[in-house]
């Protein structure tokens, strides 16, 4: 019996090695990548960020051992996952669950127990346009439950207390809204103040777990077709500050959009030039210090 188990284990390892034979051995956190400083760098070039495809919308599991993202081609998009095993990170692949329940723009809750993503709801009647909503499903390790509709909108981010920030697609133009989570359910849609939606609406919110800041993209430059990343900070009175640009090292002449945070809060991920970039959140801490300095009374 022991010999049989040993043979099975060896076979499994051989299968893993064969499947990974043309894939680099990547160990350590963040898919084995060297973390960046305050200058953004392409994330996992050739592994996650590719020249052939467009990558967009990513999230990490709470323990940092799973990375989910969307890869798009002319044939459509796939929600892929790379996992950290004892032998290293696996090649990104589409899970069977997402072949059955396709979607995009993933987000995993702070406690790691809920998987949120954007999905099109099939039309209920002939010639009726499909609606787009945030869906959620239970997550227990790699096991995912069946998705259920959560709230209208797309591209979500959830704080530790369950408040759900989304791009309000039915709005004209699209704006960032929040559904506050109370007594086990979501309340009515609200629009946060400060510089989040003013003077130009924001989109693709990334809320800090403690709601101390929110990062988003918005078209506020001289080029109306160019979206840049901004941050607003929660003030002592509970209101949001005016928006601060993440600066020229992050914002480029390209669209810099769809921000997300690593589970340890040390790195910011975003999309630019059809790839994922990441940068140290020290840039956020610096902007917060500058924001507080401006509020000081002489």
Predicted confidence pLDDT, tens digits, the chain (298 residues): 445 444 443 444 444 444 445 889 999 999 999 999 999 999 999 999 999 989 989 999 999 999 999 998 777 789 999 999 999 999 999 999 999 999 999 999 999 999 999 998 876 666 666 789 999 999 999 999 999 999 999 999 999 999 999 999 876 668 999 999 999 999 999 999 999 999 999 999 999 999 999 999 999 988 878 999 999 999 999 999 999 999 999 999 999 999 999 999 999 999 999 899 999 999 999 999 887 666 543 3
Q: Is the CB of residue 216 less than 8 Å from the CB of residue 244?
A: no
| Segment 43-49 long-range contacts (CB within 8 Å, at least 24 positions apart) | 43/269, 43/275, 43/276, 43/277, 43/278, 44/276, 45/275, 47/23, 47/82, 47/92, 48/82, 48/92, 48/276, 49/275, 49/276
Q: Peptide bond before 173: cis, by omega within 30 degrees of 0?
A: yes
Per DSSP, the three-state class of 182 is strand
In order of their start, the domains of the chain are 2-295 (2.120.10)
Task: Provide the pLDDT for residue 7.
Answer: 41
Q: Is the CB of residue 272 less than 8 Å from the CB of residue 255?
A: yes
pTM of the model: 0.89
Q: Is the CB of residue 109 less than 8 Å from the CB of residue 60?
A: no
Task: Provide the pLDDT for residue 223.
Answer: 84
Q: How far is CA 131 from CA 146, 177, 205, in A?
A: 19, 17, 20
């Amino acid at each position: 019996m022991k010999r049989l188990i040993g043979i099975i284990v060896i076979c499994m390892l051989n299968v893993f090695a064969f499947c990974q034979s043309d894939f680099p051995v990547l160990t350590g956190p963040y898919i084995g990548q060297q973390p960046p400083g305050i200058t953004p760098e392409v994330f996992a070039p050739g592994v996650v960020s590719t020249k052939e495809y467009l990558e967009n919308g990513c999230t990490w599991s709470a323990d940092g051992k799973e990375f989910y993202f969307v890869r798009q081609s002319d044939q459509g998009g796939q929600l892929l996952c790379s996992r950290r095993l004892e032998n290293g990170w696996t090649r990104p692949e589409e899970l069977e669950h997402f072949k059955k329940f396709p979607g995009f723009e993933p987000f995993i809750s702070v406690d790691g127990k809920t998987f949120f993503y954007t999905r099109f709801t099939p039309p209920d009647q002939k010639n009726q346009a499909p609606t787009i909503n945030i869906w959620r499903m239970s997550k227990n390790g790699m096991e995912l439950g069946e998705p259920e509709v959560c709230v209208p909108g797309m591209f979500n981010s959830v704080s530790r207390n369950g408040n759900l920030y989304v791009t309000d697609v039915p709005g004209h133009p699209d704006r960032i809204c929040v559904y506050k989570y109370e007594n086990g359910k979501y309340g009515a849609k609200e629009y946060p103040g400060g510089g989040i939606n003013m003077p130009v609406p924001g989109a693709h919110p990334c809320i800090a777990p403690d709601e101390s800041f929110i990062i988003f993209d918005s078209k506020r430059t001289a080029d109306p077709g160019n979206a840049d990343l901004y941050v607003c900070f929660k003030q002592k009175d509970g209101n949001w500050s005016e928006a601060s640009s993440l600066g020229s090292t992050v914002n480029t002449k390209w669209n810099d959009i769809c921000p997300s945070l690593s589970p340890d809060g040390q790195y910011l991920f975003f999309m630019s030039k059809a790839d994922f970039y990441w940068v140290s959140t020290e840039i956020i801490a610096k902007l917060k210090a500058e924001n507080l300095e401006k509020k000081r009374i002489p």
